[in-house]
Structure 1
Amino acid sequence: MNRYVYRQFQLIGLSALLCTSDLAVMAQTNNLAKYEKNAPAPAVSLKDALNSLKEHYKVDIVFGDQVIEQYTVSPGIINYRQSVEKNLEAVLSTSGLKFRKLKNGTYAIVGRMSGRRGASLGVSEAKTPIALTSLSEHLPMLPQTISTETGREPEKVADNPVRGKVTDEKGEGLPGVNVTIKGTTRGTTTDASGNFSLPNIEKNTILVFSFIGYTPKEIIADGKPILNVSLTEESKSLNEVVVVGFGTQKKATVTGAIANVTTKDLVQSPVANISNSLVGRMPGLFAVQASGEPGNDASTLRIRGVSTFSGAADPLILVNGIEVSNYNNIDPNEIENLTILKDASATAIYGIRGANGVIIITTKRGKVGKPQLSYTANLAVTSFTNLRKGMDSYNYARLYNEALRNDAYVTGAVYTPRFTEADLAKYRSGEDPVFYPNTDWYALVLKPQALQTQHNLNLNGGTEKVRYFVSAGFFSQGGQFNNTDLIKEFDANRKYKRYNFRSNFDFDVTSKLKVSLDVASQTENLSGANWPTVRVIEGIGKANPLTSPGFIGDKLVNLPGLGTVVNPLADMFGQGYNRQFRNFLQGSVRVDYLLDFLVPGLSATGILNYQNNNTETLTNLRPLITYNAVRLPDGTVNLIPQNIEQPFSFGQNIGKNRRTYAQFGFDYKRNFGDHSVTSTVNYNQTKYFDPNLAFLVPNGYQGVVGRATYGYKNRYLAEFTFGYNGTENFAPGKRFGFFPAYSLGWAVSEEPFFPKNDVLTYMKIRGSYGEVGNDRIGGDRFLYRPSAYTQSNNPAGYFFGETGSTITAYTRAIEGRLGNPDVTWERAVKQNLGLELSLWKSKISVTADVFSEDRNNILANLGTVPATVGATLPAYNLGRMRNRGFDGDITYNDRIGQFNFTVRGNFTFARNKVLFQDEVQRPFTYQYRTGQRFGQYFGLIADGLYNTWEEVNDASRPVSAWNNNRLQPGDIRYKDVNGDGIINEDDAVPIGYSNFPEKIFGVSLSGGYKGFDFSVLFQGASNVSLAYARRQVRGWFENSGAVDYLINSWSAERYEQGQTIWFPRVTTGADENHNNKMSTYWVRDGSYVRLKNAEIGYNLPKEMLSRLGLSSTRIFVSANNLLTWSSVFPGVDPEQSGTPPGSTIGGTTNEEPYPLTRTINFGLNLRF
């Protein structure tokens, strides 16, 4: 990086330090006594110290101003490397005050012991308004009535007393609950068991029950002496600490659009990788699984849809704030939470990497306490969710004859049936299984089930000085290929194994210095046939039931005579055996240092990370011997080898890459009375080394990022973020960019005018605007440089003197694509408006966001430049695209007796539109891709089938540009869109949607009763089209198999009898062109609803476990991909989107993905 850029970094860093210093000076001026410049550091008020602890540890500390206002503490007394309780003891040590832990995350500061039996506090700092707070150890076993007006015990009055007990949702007594008469300061507190007593309570008096962390309740005294009350715990969501870019924030102060899930949600899905466990769980996250192949079954993730038609649309994925390429391999038991950042306010800090959104995975860390050992075991059975069935040999032979008859009209040949009636009878009876077989290739190649196992053992604990989390895991996933031991030395079944290890250590070296050491490793073993699984599945579809009886003994047999013999087992073994070993190792060192001796609230952070990937692929080849069956005159069967046994051959390929990351920055956090200010500035740098990179030049990123936030009483919120970063992939002067974002938030419910009610208890409005970049724009690396290549073969090489096929040519250099020095990243302008609500005492929470994104600088080729230019022109940043939509979720929590339950739903709608891409000139405006969705299907509009010769011979019928217009009954009827009397590609219009959904949703229900718990998750997608793959719907009765439902193809007999017809007439492929065009006949609705996950568990009673040294034991049964509802054909999974947009069904490939799998899992979790 040049001197100018370094100068900019220096100026930015210096400015940040000056700003934080200025803020600190202002804070001290406003909140502390004024001192001379050279005076020693002033004391800090106890109130400010307690507020600092609240902010740092994200806890509630409740106190009364009149109790603490007279006290101060020395500025260096707080040690943030110790626990909050240790610091509370320290700051209260000189005052004689005490603290009481009311519940996890909530503490109360109480006065010193006096002659009174109880002590009162006017509490103004609690998040939940209450009238009184008392220390339980100072309370008597029976409640004492006090008066805050006089500070004396009132005279005992026995008239109309009211007694009772205050309990929580579990029925346990709540000590220290304030019970007051509404409109007065007269009241009492509950004792250690939750009991209270108030004398002289008139009928219809309103009593107010309030307690930290619980929703206050008002009860009308009805004159009865006994009054029992149950309080409901307030929603914890607003106090949750959520992960944001380069830091954390309280959810209540977040102004960006984010969503998160915890490890509890992730481990409910018995799946092989993280991406599949996210399906249907988060608003704004699209997840589509295209394959169920072991080791290659991850889902494609998109945040708020797709906003580019050229560049990569994958989100940036970070683990503990650092980019990794194999996040899917993390054991879900290692994860604490997962957060997605959706709008510019949340992602602009990542600059040129954040336009597609960001996913941050945070792993677990050690906690202070005794060691806790946890073991989880899972044993699962997998099976295909939806598998087609092959057509039996009798119907195949019968339809083959029918296909020949249909083709004869087009070719002009004389129809001669291939199979006689005697042949058909033998196929039907099965009397000769060798030469008249009925082979079900789906059953022969695929087996119904496979096993999957997972184990995890982790240890968590530590002291104030050292904390640790260590985890080890194993995962094994078997494939469902059958008969994989044909070659004894090989096992061609697809198998995947993974070994996980992670250790996270935190050391408090001093009171100001903290060091964290993280190590993670994943080792993967992937084995199976060297033939791709997509080709195996394709081979099953191509193999017909007549060309092989399968096995005779242990020999795989083929039958020549019906076209090209396709044998998927022979194909699978013909390319040998493949084993792949992948190892990933990473280590991180993080150092945090408190600089509060310079500026209170200031700290510095440094991170170094190293990642190493190694891959070794071993290939062994020993072809399978197949046999032809021949019947001898005496009727016996002779098996003739088609090939000879070959010796082993061996191949090896080794790949490796590594990545380094460095980060250094400053953080500043302070509270000044009702004001809170935070800021962060970080420099970061990444280098990626791979021998396969162009010119062997490492891929690198470098930049400075920052964020500043301001809050007033958690009511008015403002945030500014920026990313200034770049990459060497672009030309000098085009490498760095500045990406700012701004956001505001308004917690309306915190306003004094907002009515306090039990219906709408919280309301926040937030909005953001900003710019983000995407440097993964597609195309070759270093597009600003011209490309060249060499050729030496005849006739492309140079000749000097004689020429000819026998003369050796000299190598010549050839100019390739021209360079474009102006090429740069995509730039996205994003806007977001969000609303957060909490209703009915936090039983219902709602989040809703409306978003808009305009992406420009999308890389596109020039379509309007004539071919006579004479050179291959570079791509330009010409494209523009728009993406708009909304997302949200709603959660309902409640309890009925001992049964607690949660209902949660999320929904996302994202529609994109191509605004410009410089297309070639097209004859009709409706054919332009500009103005349509990205991935929009284009095709003919089908209008049923021609069913009679009268319809075919109608003079008004448009002429077909295919099959020489020789149509016949059973062919598809198309609409002549442009009215020229010809059906051709000019009649193709936008049909359906794209093959990526516009709408997704998830609905979950979970609950618990005593020791039992359960959860179910429904997930679905709509506004998506599926174009069937060729083998799924077309009957090529020549060199091809057929699925069983093709029996519903058109025939004159079926039409006359009124039977169900799904498909056009069958053919051997001689006249396929007319019927296989992309059209509404083949592009169908791909919407679906799936029962994605279900789980039921039971926690054994603790009394039973204590003798075994166990703290908890849970047994559970779970399942994934249980049921699917859709309108697609049998054996087709709607999530596997079939053929991409093209002119014919099947596109340019006939490959089919490995089917998705259903998982039934049995699990056990032990905690020691």
Structure 2
Amino acid sequence: MNFKITIITRWLCLVLCCCLSLSAWAQTAVIKGKVVDKKGEPVIGASVAVIGTSIGTITDIDGAFTLNKVPDKAKVKVSYVGYDARTVNVSGQKFLNITLSENEKMLDEVVVVGYGVMRKSDLTGAVSSVKATESLKQMPVSDLSTALQGRLAGVSIVEQSGQPGSNSVIRVRGVNSFEADTGPLIVIDGFIGGDFNSLNPADIESVEVLKDASATAVYGSRGANGVILITTKNPEKGKVQVTYNGFVNMKTPYKLPEVLSAGEFARLANDYGREYFGAQGVEKVFYSDEQIAEFDQGLRGYDYLHNIFRDVSIEHNHDISISGGSEKTQFLVSGNFNDNRGIVQNSRSTRVNYRTKVDTKILKWLKAGVNIWGNYNETYGPRFSQYEGVLLQALGYPTTIEPKDENGNYNNMNLNSPQYNPMGHIWEIDKGGFNSSTHLQGYIDVTLWKGLSFKMLQGGTFANNLSTQTCGADSYEAYKNANQTSATATSTQNINWINSNILSYVQEFNENHRINATLLLEQQYNNNRTNYSNGKYIVSEKIGADNTGMADVVTGNTSRNVSTLLSYMARVNYVLMNRYMFTASFRRDGSSRLAKGNEWENFASGAVAWDMKQENFLKYVDPIDRFKLRFGYGETGNQAVALYSAFAKFGNVRDGYNKLGYKVTSLGNRNLKWERTSQFNLGLDMGFLNNRLTFEIDLYHKLSKDVLLKVNTPVITGFGSELRNAGKILNKGIEVTIGADPFVGPTFSWNTKLVLSSNRCTIEELNFIDNDYFTMSGYEEAYFRNIKGERISSMWGYFYEGVWKSYEMQNAPKEAEPGSYKYKNLDNDPEGLINEKDCGIIGNGSPKFNWGWTNTLTYKDFDFSLFVVGFHGFDIYNHTRSALLSVGGSIAPNPEFYNRWTPENEETGIAGFVKNPNKKTSTQFVEKGDFVKVKSITLGYTLPKKILKSCHINNFRIYASLQNPFLFTGYSGIDPEVTLRKPLASGVDYGYYPNGRNYLIGINFGF
């Protein structure tokens, strides 16, 4: 009986609900309205939906909307990316005025992707992003790439030099090529090409890095090395706003190696003369007791190492921007001036950046704008690398010899042979250059229909570079070339035009379907011209490179390179029920860089994502806010190979009578193809506790094939090598980003972020070569061998086993003597002969993983940040140490010689002053390069607004920052970071310009 009553009750309730529903739906009306932001600007494309129904639409270019058949007591929900959603009761209203408020947290979730923007929640690819303003606040610098180090997963940024004006080395997910460029493509406000130095750092709003192929495939033949998208700040309407930021940076050398004083070196030199030359029957005494006494008293001698560095160098940086405008037109004008004196004497750079941006709304459906930016940069400094670099020379030159004699002439002599005086590298340099560039960009943006828009961008770059060098009678170049003076001037002019036509369709249907589609037609033209002039035996050093024609022998040449690229691209992103995402793209590129038949290539990608948080099994699990799985695959290319590599080249030649002739200078290969990279990516995004704890994890497998390589050609051709598609390179790794807000409160907050990246790069194939390895030319490259099946940057040499002792000579090879270096006999030669067969991999210069840790704390009006980076799992070949242990015509003032082999000190690892030390490239000079560096500690204070209000100042902040204060490493050299500069020769210390310790004080304010 009870069961029947229950059934009847349920049926009655159902019938009653239906009746009420029909009654309610019978009372419908047409509702109109307008959606605006807090400034009264229309919100175009906002989603307007009646809750619980399929009724919905989006706002037009005026922010207006119309809803038909809306029930009288219905609720309307309005949402748009970057704004808080709002629900409004209809309650008989016929017109709804709805104002949306910006959601700062949601705005951070909108990211720039190639040729458009997208909600981060809709992303299916691997994209890392960072707000430039926050990075500069935590680490104020004049080059934004420095501040981005360690903040982006999968992106390796290395400060390769402390020299003013130098660029950081940036790589995304490893190295993909042997011969072509390995750096990422940089896109500034949609304009392809450029670098961080061409922009004022304070002008940059955000930086996005596209890492996997599903994200980079829209850039086709230029996407293999990753893509960095830089978005600059937009002008804001309203009254004119002026902002200023400036700092003064006092720099000091971080740490310097120990060298012997003049007195210490004099005694060591006499030991050297007695032991080394005495063994040859010509014992020498270089310094008398009287001279040594003068050295000890400081009356004579010179500290070259400390004198090539400044005690304190000054950098000052100033940014100013002016922004404002009316309802229809807004403008922004900014400028930057940076003067940077390096920690090395006579090194300096001066840079000026400028930018003007204007946006205007011509009609309701038509917008246009112009963006002009540029820079002028001058650099000046001594040679600071390779064997003749000033640091190596200063470390190895006798501290007993002063720079000049009593007549003012350089002392170009060491203990026993000629050697150029290191201070000549500082005092006699006349080497510098300048570069300037102007970037012009204009656009029109037309709204064709609801959600459908067309945008055309037209841009051009005009760049000029000039490098000059005058080598006078006292210069190093004249010294090594039999007193031949010279002057050189090289200028380069570059013109680059690009036209992009973008058709976009963005639409949302009933909150269950969302589409973002893009079509592209793009054209690019590049014209590069180089002029070179050299004069030998110049008439006047003062004129020098200003007129190279005033010389006895004048040579010169010019060259011109032209390339074009035509591209088509289509991309679609579809989201179903806010939980299933799909992205597909296709691009076709045609390039003039390759021969007919290979100039066109297609690049496609696809990716899917699943937001499991939207499923019922996770939707109501409160601690979990985000749980999204991503998977993608795609192919990209690398066309950054030298122009005309597919074609034979001609050049001139002259005989002994200066008669002109012509010859083929290199073979062409019309079968050359673009390098192609295919990549799989698996990602997981998680958020917990109201997203106060977040995780982003990506695994990738990236295979580059048809990699270009110079291979040997038959002798009959008359050429040594030609370029072929001959290799494969595999990069695979993992990236993890962990973010947390442990404390969030009105007076105190703490945000922390840890970024970890691990990449392994191996050579999978090497074709068309005689062996399973190849070597490359260059000072650093001489220490490496690129071997099939091994990681790149594999060091090759002998295995050091110490020093031969007197009691071991019965087992020593013929060339050995007591006190000479001892190496492992790998091939077990019966006579102990050490040769190439005893070589092997002795180290690797590529870090296995790197990380960055950022901490930002605020307490009331104070802010504090700490930034730390680390690189691990790599070796450094310390060429500097090797050079300073050389024994021959002279020796260096090296304290390590105190522990050299002598008959009384046989238990040592340092060879003695013997006739043939037999020093080789070996594990003796391979050291662990792992380091942890505190990059910056910054403390700031912002004055309360109630104090500033009476002065009509919007904000005022003062800060102090300490950069590179601490370095934790077991490496014995100056700075392990600067050794990570070359893709195939990473991890060699050749006496590079080290980074210094910086002490900054700055202010920023606006009114």
When residues 853 and 584 of structure 1 are mapped into structure 2, their CA distance, relative to the original with a 3 A threshold, is same
8 Å contact kept, 2:372–2:441: yes
Kindly provide the amino acid, as one letter, of the partner of residue 1088 in structure 1: F
1:1064 to 889, 905, 910: 910
1:537 to 385, 391, 398: 391
User: Cα distance, 1:1044 vs. partner?
Assistant: 4.4
When residues 625 and 758 of structure 1 are mapped into structure 2, their CA distance, relative to the original with a 3 A threshold, is closer
1:371 to 218, 240, 243: 240
2:324 to 461, 465, 471: 461
Show the 5 A alignment for 1:174-193. Answer: none
8 Å contact kept, 2:737–2:755: yes
When residues 776 and 872 of structure 1 are mapped into structure 2, their CA distance, relative to the original with a 3 A threshold, is same
Q: Deviations over 1:232-266 (max 9, x none)?
A: xx993697210111111000000000101112233
Q: Name the structure 1 match of 2:338.
A: 475
Show the 5 A alignment for 1:246-261. Answer: 246-261=115-130
Report the 3-state secondary structure (helix = DSSP H, G, I; strand = E; otherwise coil) of the residue aligned with 1:892: strand
Q: Deviations over 1:172-206 (max 9, x none)?
A: xxxxxxxxxxxxxxxxxxxxxxxxxxxxxxxxxxx
1:669 to 502, 506, 511: 506
Report the 3-state secondary structure (helix = DSSP H, G, I; strand = E; otherwise coil) of the residue aligned with 1:850: strand
Q: Does 1:1036 align with 2:886?
A: yes
Report the 3-state secondary structure (helix = DSSP H, G, I; strand = E; otherwise coil) of the residue aligned with 2:176: coil
Alignment partners' CA distance in 1, 2:490 and 2:985: 35
Q: Deviations over 1:893-951 (max 9, x none)?
A: 132653100111011111011112237545999987111111211122222333x3112
User: Cα distance, 1:970 vs. partner?
Assistant: 5.3
Q: Does 1:290 align with 2:160?
A: yes
Show the 5 A alignment for 1:139-154. Answer: none
Alignment partners' CA distance in 1, 2:70 and 2:239: 27
When residues 559 and 303 of structure 1 are mapped into structure 2, their CA distance, relative to the original with a 3 A threshold, is closer
Q: Name the structure 2 match of 1:111.
A: 89
Alignment partners' CA distance in 1, 2:524 and 2:913: 58
8 Å contact kept, 1:978–1:986: no
1:841 to 690, 710, 726: 690
Q: Name the structure 2 match of 1:607.
A: 457
When residues 991 and 578 of structure 1 are mapped into structure 2, their CA distance, relative to the original with a 3 A threshold, is closer
When residues 351 and 46 of structure 1 are mapped into structure 2, their CA distance, relative to the original with a 3 A threshold, is farther
When residues 461 and 552 of structure 1 are mapped into structure 2, their CA distance, relative to the original with a 3 A threshold, is farther
8 Å contact kept, 2:145–2:168: yes
1:992 to 837, 843, 851: 843
Q: Name the structure 2 match of 1:163.
A: none
Q: Name the structure 1 match of 2:548.
A: none
Q: Name the structure 1 match of 2:969.
A: 1126
User: Cα distance, 1:861 vs. partner?
Assistant: 3.1
More strand by share: 2
Q: Name the structure 1 match of 2:994.
A: 1155
User: Cα distance, 1:473 vs. partner?
Assistant: 1.2
Kindly provide the amino acid, as one letter, of the partner of residue 342 in structure 1: K
Report the 3-state secondary structure (helix = DSSP H, G, I; strand = E; otherwise coil) of the residue aligned with 1:539: helix
Kindly provide the amino acid, as one letter, of the partner of residue 283 in structure 1: A
Q: Does 1:954 align with 2:810?
A: yes
Alignment partners' CA distance in 2, 1:102 and 1:785: 54
Q: Does 1:931 align with 2:931?
A: no
Alignment partners' CA distance in 1, 2:286 and 2:591: 67
1:567 to 413, 421, 432: 421
Q: Name the structure 2 match of 1:40.
A: none
Alignment partners' CA distance in 2, 1:1138 and 1:507: 44
When residues 921 and 100 of structure 1 are mapped into structure 2, their CA distance, relative to the original with a 3 A threshold, is closer
Alignment partners' CA distance in 1, 2:81 and 2:724: 61
Structure showing greater radius of gyration is 1
Q: Name the structure 2 match of 1:1010.
A: 860
Show the 5 A alignment for 1:619-638. Answer: none
Q: Deviations over 1:13-33 (max 9, x none)?
A: xxxxxxxxxxxxxxxxxxxxx
Show the 5 A alignment for 1:183-582. Answer: 236=105, 240-267=109-136, 268-296=138-166, 298-404=167-273, 407=276, 413-414=280-281, 416-419=283-286, 422=289, 425-426=292-293, 429-430=296-297, 433=299, 437-482=300-345, 493-528=346-381, 535-548=389-402, 562-574=416-428, 576-582=429-435
Report the 3-state secondary structure (helix = DSSP H, G, I; strand = E; otherwise coil) of the residue aligned with 2:194: coil
Task: Give TM-score scaled by structure 1 length.
Answer: 0.73
When residues 1093 and 396 of structure 1 are mapped into structure 2, their CA distance, relative to the original with a 3 A threshold, is same
Structure 1 stretches of 5 or more lacking a match? 1-42, 120-133, 138-210, 214-233, 483-492, 627-641, 795-807
Alignment partners' CA distance in 1, 2:901 and 2:836: 27
When residues 754 and 1017 of structure 1 are mapped into structure 2, their CA distance, relative to the original with a 3 A threshold, is same
8 Å contact kept, 1:583–1:614: yes
User: Cα distance, 1:48 vs. partner?
Assistant: 12
Report the 3-state secondary structure (helix = DSSP H, G, I; strand = E; otherwise coil) of the residue aligned with 1:546: coil
Q: Does 1:656 align with 2:519?
A: no
Q: Does 1:1078 align with 2:921?
A: yes
8 Å contact kept, 1:942–1:975: no
Indicate the larger mover: 310-319 or 552-561: 552-561
8 Å contact kept, 1:378–1:1164: yes
Task: Give TM-score scaled by structure 2 length.
Answer: 0.84
How many aligned positions are there?
930
8 Å contact kept, 1:46–1:69: no
User: Cα distance, 1:972 vs. partner?
Assistant: 3.5
User: Cα distance, 1:653 vs. partner?
Assistant: 5.1
When residues 1139 and 911 of structure 1 are mapped into structure 2, their CA distance, relative to the original with a 3 A threshold, is closer
When residues 790 and 421 of structure 1 are mapped into structure 2, their CA distance, relative to the original with a 3 A threshold, is closer
User: Cα distance, 1:619 vs. partner?
Assistant: 5.4
Alignment partners' CA distance in 1, 2:197 and 2:890: 37
Alignment partners' CA distance in 2, 1:817 and 1:103: 56
Identity %: 22
8 Å contact kept, 2:414–2:890: no
Structure 2 stretches of 5 or more lacking a match? 1-28, 532-557, 775-783
When residues 113 and 277 of structure 1 are mapped into structure 2, their CA distance, relative to the original with a 3 A threshold, is same
Q: Deviations over 1:441-461 (max 9, x none)?
A: 022222121001111111233
Q: Deviations over 1:1020-1069 (max 9, x none)?
A: 1112111112456633355666354424542337846x7xx5x522548x
Q: Name the structure 2 match of 1:197.
A: none
1:781 to 643, 649, 673: 643
- CA RMSD, aligned part only? 4.2
Q: Name the structure 2 match of 1:874.
A: 722
Q: Name the structure 1 match of 2:550.
A: none
Q: Deviations over 1:382-435 (max 9, x none)?
A: 1122322332123323333444455458xx61251424662674265337x3xx
Kindly provide the amino acid, as one letter, of the partner of residue 840 in structure 1: L
Alignment partners' CA distance in 2, 1:261 and 1:923: 42
When residues 625 and 915 of structure 1 are mapped into structure 2, their CA distance, relative to the original with a 3 A threshold, is closer
8 Å contact kept, 1:341–1:357: yes
Alignment partners' CA distance in 2, 1:1134 and 1:977: 36
Report the 3-state secondary structure (helix = DSSP H, G, I; strand = E; otherwise coil) of the residue aligned with 1:691: strand
User: Cα distance, 1:737 vs. partner?
Assistant: 0.5
Q: Name the structure 1 match of 2:672.
A: 823
Alignment partners' CA distance in 2, 1:907 and 1:347: 21
8 Å contact kept, 1:823–1:877: yes
Alignment partners' CA distance in 1, 2:70 and 2:238: 24
Alignment partners' CA distance in 1, 2:785 and 2:317: 51
User: Cα distance, 1:792 vs. partner?
Assistant: 3.0
When residues 1130 and 856 of structure 1 are mapped into structure 2, their CA distance, relative to the original with a 3 A threshold, is closer
Alignment partners' CA distance in 2, 1:467 and 1:93: 39
8 Å contact kept, 1:547–1:565: no
Alignment partners' CA distance in 2, 1:59 and 1:79: 8
